[in-house]
Amino acid sequence: YPKARLFSFCSRCKTKVYPDELPNTSVVIVFHNEAWSTLLRTVYSVINRSPRYLLSEVILVDDASERDFLKLTLENYVKNLEVPVKIIRMEERSGLIRARLRGAAASKGQVITFLDAHCECTLGWLEPLLARIKEDRKTVVCPIIDVISDDTFEYMAGSDMTYGGFNWKLNFRWYPVPQREMDRRKGDRTLPVRTPTMAGGLFSIDRNYFEEIGTYDAGMDIWGGENLEMSFRIWQCGGSLEIVTCSHVGHVFRKATPYTFPGGTGHVINKNNRRLAEVWMDEFKDFFYIISPGVVKVDYGDVSVRKTLRENLKCKPFSWYLENIYPDSQIPRRYYSLGEIRNVETNQCLDNMGRKENEKVGIFNCHGMGGNQVFSYTADKEIRTDDLCLDVSRLSGPVIMLKCHHMRGNQLWEYDAERLTLRHVNSNQCLDEPSEEDKMVPTMQDCSGSRSQQWLLRNMTLGA
C-alpha cells in the first residue's frame, strides 16, 4: 500500500475513541533462559505504554531458567517497578503451555493478555484489544505483530493485510486477507480482521471465557500446535478470533529456537498436532496424517477429556469451520479422492518429489506411505497437494506443480472414472506414462484410451 494510504490508516486509529470503562488485564509473560535486555524491554514497554488503570499486574513465569541473573537479581529488580510484577517459578521445565496455565491461574485481571518474553508494546496497543473484548467477551483478540530484527533490533511495522491460516502439515502460515473479508469490513481498515487462526504468542482473552472454552490442552507438551488447537476450538465452539488492526506489538523473530525441546522437537510437535487433529478435525485429519505419515506412530496420550469438552460445548464440526470461517483453506472441503495416483500400465505413482513450486511432477514406485505421493482430486477438479496444483501451460507439457490459483484454466482436470483417464481440459490432452527420454516424468499426449493413460485414484487413511 502507498505510504499516504498507510498514514491515513494509522491516523484513523489514533483518532478512535474507546469507552472509559474498559476491563483491566493481567499480562502473563513466560520466559526460559531469556536475555536480560529483551525480557526487560518487554516488561518496561508493557508498563510504560499501558494506561495504569487498565494494567492489573504483570506475571512473569520462569520455566526453569538456568541463568543466574534470572533468579534473585531479577526478583530484586522488579520490586522497584511501579506496577506489581509477580514472578512464578516452575519446578521443572514444563513448556510454554503449562507455564501459561500456571500464570493464568495466578492472575487477577478481568482479561488475560499473553505475550512472549521478547516483545515491545507500542503506544495505544492495549485499549483497542480491551475495547473489543468489552464489546464481545467471546472474542479473542490479537494485535498486529510487528517485526523486530534479531540482528539489529530494528523495528519494522507489520501488515494489516495478512491473516493466519495453516497448511496440510498443520504449520501456521500468514496469507493475504481475502477479498470477502475486506468486503465485510467495507473498506475500513481500522476494523478488526476475522482470522481463521492465530500465531498464538500474543493475544488477549476474557479470563472467564478462557476457563469456559477450556483454557489450553494440558496434555500438549512444551510448545507447538496449541495456537491452532485454540483457534479451531474458539471458532467451532461459538467464539471468534480477530486481529485488532489498531493494536501493534513488536516481536523479535529469531532465526532458530535458542532452547531445547525435551523429547525432541519433532516428537513434541507431532504429539501436539496429533492431539488437535484427533479432537477437532474430524475426517479432515486424514490430510495431515497421509502427508506426515510419521505422526501416526507417535503416542499422543488420552484425549477423552478434550473430546468431552467438545461435546459439552456443543461445538460445530470441522467441515463447518472450513465452509464458514476458512473457505480459502488449502484443505479442500469437497474432494473425490485423497491418496496416491497410480498408473495402470507401469504400476508407478505420481510423486511430488521435493514438494516445491515450479518443479516437474515425478513418477516413481508406489510406496503406500503417503508423503510426497499424496494428491487430492477435488470437487473443483484440481489435482493438488497442500497449496500446490498439477499445472500444464503448454501443449505436450511439461507437467509441473504450481501454487493453486483457483482460476481453473491450466489447473483444471477431468477424471473419467470409467476410462480412468485424467484429461487436461485446456489442452484436451491426457496424462500419460513417461517417455523414453525421461522415465521419471509423466507426459501429456493426445487421449487414446491406452493403458498408459489410465490412472487409479486411491483413497488412503493412515490414522488410527
Element (H, E) at 243: strand 240-252
Number of separate domains in the chain: 3
Q: Which of 387, 172, 173, 169 is nearest to 295 (CA)?
A: 169
- Give the residue carrying C-alpha cell 474507546: 18
Supply the mean pLDDT for the chain. 90
Which of 306, 325, 344 is the C-terminal boundary of a domain?
A: 325
Which residues, listed in sequence order, are joined to residue 377 by a DSSP beta bridge? 337, 383
Tell me the mean pLDDT in the region 387-405: 87
Question: Helix, strand, or coil here: 318?
Answer: helix
Whether residue 314 is found in the same domain as residue 339:
no
Please state the rounded mean pLDDT for residues 265-288.
90
| Radius of gyration of the CA atoms of the chain, in A | 25
Whether residues 89 and 196 fall in one domain: yes
User: Does 285 have pLDDT greater than 50?
Assistant: yes
Whether 194 shows a pLDDT value over 70: the answer reads yes
Q: Are residues 362 and 318 in the same domain?
A: no
Residues in CB range of 463: below 8 A, 6 or more apart: 277, 285, 286, 289, 296
How large is the average pLDDT for residues 388-414? 87
Set of cell numbers at residue 212: 469456559
Answer with the one of 252, 277, 303 that is the final residue of a domain.
252
Residues 138, 209: one domain? yes
H/E stretch holding 77 reads helix 72-78
Q: How many CB atoms lie within 10 A of CB 271?
A: 21
Looking at 200, 227, 252, which one is the last position of a domain?
Answer: 252
pLDDT tier for residue 464 given thresholds of 50, 70 and 90? very low
Q: How far is CA 274 from CA 96, 213, 268, 401, in A?
A: 18, 20, 10, 28
Q: Which pLDDT belongs to residue 187?
A: 83
pLDDT category, 263, cuts 50, 70, 90? low
In DSSP notation, 25-56 reads: EEEEEEESS--HHHHHHHHHHHHHTS-GGGEE
Q: Which of 24-28, 211-215, 334-338, 352-356 has the least mean pLDDT?
A: 352-356
Half-sphere exposure of 170 (CA within 13 A, CB side): 32
Examine residue 339 and state whether it is found in any structural domain, yes or no: yes
% residues pLDDT > 70 (the chain): 94
Indicate whether 257 belongs to any domain: no
Q: Are 319 and 346 contained in the same domain?
A: no
Where does the pLDDT of residue 354 fall: very low under 50, low under 70, confident under 90, or very high at 90 and above?
low
**Which of residues 196 and 298 earns the better pLDDT score?**
196
Residue with cell 499501558: 50
Is residue 462 included in any domain, yes or no? no
Q: Are 269 and 237 found together in one domain?
A: no
Strand, helix or coil for residue 428: coil
| C-alpha cell at position 356 | 516445491
Q: Is residue 259 part of a domain?
A: no
Mean pLDDT of 2-27: 74
Q: Is the same domain home to 122 and 163?
A: yes
- What is the CB neighbour count within 10 angstroms for residue 353? 17
Contacts of 341 (CB under 8 A, 6+ apart): 349, 350, 373, 375, 377, 383, 422, 455, 456, 457, 458
Rounded CA-CA distance 349/341 in Å is 5
The total number of residues shown for the chain amounts to 464
Determine contact, residues 228/279, Cβ cutoff 8 Å.
no
Name the pTM for this structure: 0.91
Measured between alpha carbons, how far is 39 from 423 in angstroms, rounded to an integer?
A: 58
The answer to whether 34 touches 120, Cβ cutoff 8 Å, is no
pLDDT score, position 254? 72
Ramachandran angles phi, psi of 62, nearest 5° = -90, 110
pLDDT band, very low/low/confident/very high, at 297 (cuts 50, 70, 90): confident
Please give the average per-residue pLDDT across 361-380, as a whole number. 92
Query: Are 45 and 103 members of one domain?
Result: yes
Give the whole-angstrom CA distance, residue 111 versus residue 130. 8
Do 23 and 161 share a domain, yes or no? yes
How far apart CA 220 and CA 102 sit, in angstroms, is: 14
Report residue 6's pLDDT band, with 50, 70 and 90 as the boundaries.
Answer: very low
What's the pLDDT tens digit per position in 309-352? Answer: 999 999 999 999 999 999 999 999 999 999 999 999 999 999 98
For residues 30 and 13, the answer to whether their CB atoms sit within 8 Å is no
Residue 412 lies in a domain: yes
Query: Are residues 433 and 319 part of one domain?
Result: no
Res 267 pLDDT > 90: no
Which residue type is seen at 325? Answer: I
- Residue 187 identity (one-letter amino acid): G
* Selected residue with higher pLDDT from 253 and 446: 446
Span of 98-102, 120-124, 224-228, 407-411 with lowest mean pLDDT: 407-411
Chain-centroid distance, C-alpha 329: 11
What is the span of the domain harbouring residue 293? Answer: 265-325
In a domain, 463, yes or no: no
pLDDT per position as a tens digit, 33-57? 999 999 999 999 999 999 999 999 9
CA 349 to chain centre: 30
What is the pLDDT, as a whole number, of residue 259?
58
DSSP-assigned states of every residue in 414-427 = EEETTTTEEEETTT
**Which CATH number do you get for residue 302?**
1.10.8.460
Q: What is the CATH number of the domain that holds 424?
A: 2.80.10.50
Q: What is the pLDDT of residues 443-463, one digit of tens each?
A: 999 999 899 999 999 887 765
- Residue 226 inside a domain? The answer is yes
Q: What is the pLDDT of residues 7-19, one digit of tens each?
A: 445 678 888 889 8
Do 71 and 211 lie in one domain? The reply is yes
Residue 464 falls within a domain, yes or no?
Answer: no
**For residue 296, pLDDT beyond 80:** yes
The pLDDT, as a whole number, for residue 265 is 64
Do 137 and 189 fall within a single domain?
A: yes
